């Protein structure tokens, strides 16, 4: 079972590591982290880099493709034709093509989610409609062979859902026990639809501050159309 996780500068680490930690526990799983160019790939935080051994010219087929999201770097990826072409190519070979967080916006920009329901991080989810996908506020959305997950931590739920399809219930339950996934969220604010307004406003502020930090003034201007759509 060959699993490609596409990684890129500015991605959100947990988006990749959540699904990886579930899927790599499937018997016979082989996980390959693949970037446009191999070497150091920096997370959005600036605090951690991973070391990537494969570039997109090395590998173009997989059973499962996972596209993680990012705070803001996905905006660069949705215009990167080199990567989008590779995603389309890999997708031809996959049994499942999946995403976490804003990874779905990358899949959609590759034209793979046209006319399909998809989910994404609660903040930029409406950008999906720009690429003819149908934004759907659920944690995990399955449509044909595409499985998209909501923001960041939702990748764990997506991968368990996918593992259940591939290796069945008993092995998936054993994986859930192996990673001791018995979540006990402290608050009820993990979901946009049930979070308090005050909490949403503060999370909004955090996300906008992060976008400003990463894009700078020039980047904010360049991406102003999309940013305005996200802010709506």
By the criterion CB under 8 A, which residues form the site for a copy of itself? 12-14, 17-18, 20-21, 24-25, 30-33, 40, 45, 47-51, 53, 101, 121-122, 139-140, 150-154, 156-157, 160-161, 164, 169-187, 189-192, 194-196, 198-200, 202-203, 205-207
The minimum distance between CB 98 and a copy of itself, in angstroms, equals: 15
The minimum distance between CB 32 and a copy of itself, in angstroms, equals: 7
Q: Smaller CB distance to a copy of itself: residue 176 or 226?
A: 176
Q: Which residues contact 132 (CB under 8 A, 6 or more apart)?
A: 108, 113, 114, 115
Q: Smaller CB distance to a copy of itself: residue 166 or 195?
A: 195
Q: Smaller CB distance to a copy of itself: residue 82 or 184?
A: 184
What is the number of helices (H) and of strands (E) in the chain? 8, 11
Q: Which class for 87: exposed (0-12), middle (13-18), buried (19 or more C-beta within 10 A)?
A: buried
The minimum distance between CB 65 and a copy of itself, in angstroms, equals: 15
* Residues 220/211, Cβ–Cβ less than 8 Å: yes
Q: State the pairing for strand pair 39-42/49-52.
A: antiparallel
Q: Give the ranges where the chain is alpha helix by DSSP (H).
A: 13-23, 74-77, 81-93, 103-109, 154-167, 169-178, 197-222, 224-231
3-class DSSP assignment, residue 35: strand
* Residues 65/97, Cβ–Cβ less than 8 Å: yes
Q: Smaller CB distance to a copy of itself: residue 38 or 76?
A: 38
Rounded-to-integer distance, Cα 172 and Cα 170, Å: 5
Q: Smaller CB distance to a copy of itself: residue 189 or 214?
A: 189
The minimum distance between CB 126 and a copy of itself, in angstroms, equals: 16
The minimum distance between CB 213 and a copy of itself, in angstroms, equals: 12
């Amino acid at each position: 079972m060959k699993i490609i996780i596409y990684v890129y500068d500015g991605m959100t680490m947990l988006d990749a590591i959540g699904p990886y930690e579930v899927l790599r526990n499937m018997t016979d799983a082989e996980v390959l982290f693949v970037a446009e160019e191999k070497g150091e790939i920096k997370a959005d935080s600036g605090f951690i880099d991973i070391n990537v051994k494969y570039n997109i010219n090395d590998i173009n087929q997989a059973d499962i493709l996972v596209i993680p999201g990012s705070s803001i770097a996905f905006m660069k990826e949705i215009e990167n034709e080199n990567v989008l072409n590779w995603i389309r190519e890999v997708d031809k070979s996959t049994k499942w093509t999946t995403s976490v967080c804003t990874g779905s916006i990358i899949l959609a920009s590759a034209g793979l989610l046209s006319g399909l329901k998809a989910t994404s991080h609660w903040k930029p989810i409406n950008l999906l409609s720009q690429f003819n996908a149908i934004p759907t506020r659920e944690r995990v959305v399955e449509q044909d062979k595409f499985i998209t997950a909501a923001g960041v931590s939702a990748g764990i739920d997506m991968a368990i859902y996918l593992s259940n399809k591939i290796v069945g219930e008993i092995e998936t339950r054993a994986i859930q026990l192996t990673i001791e996934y018995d979540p006990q969220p402290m608050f009820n604010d993990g979901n946009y639809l049930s979070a308090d307004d005050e909490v949403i406003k503060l999370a909004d502020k955090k996300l906008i501050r992060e976008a400003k930090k990463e894009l700078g003034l020039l980047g904010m201007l360049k991406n102003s159309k999309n940013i305005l759509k996200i802010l709506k």
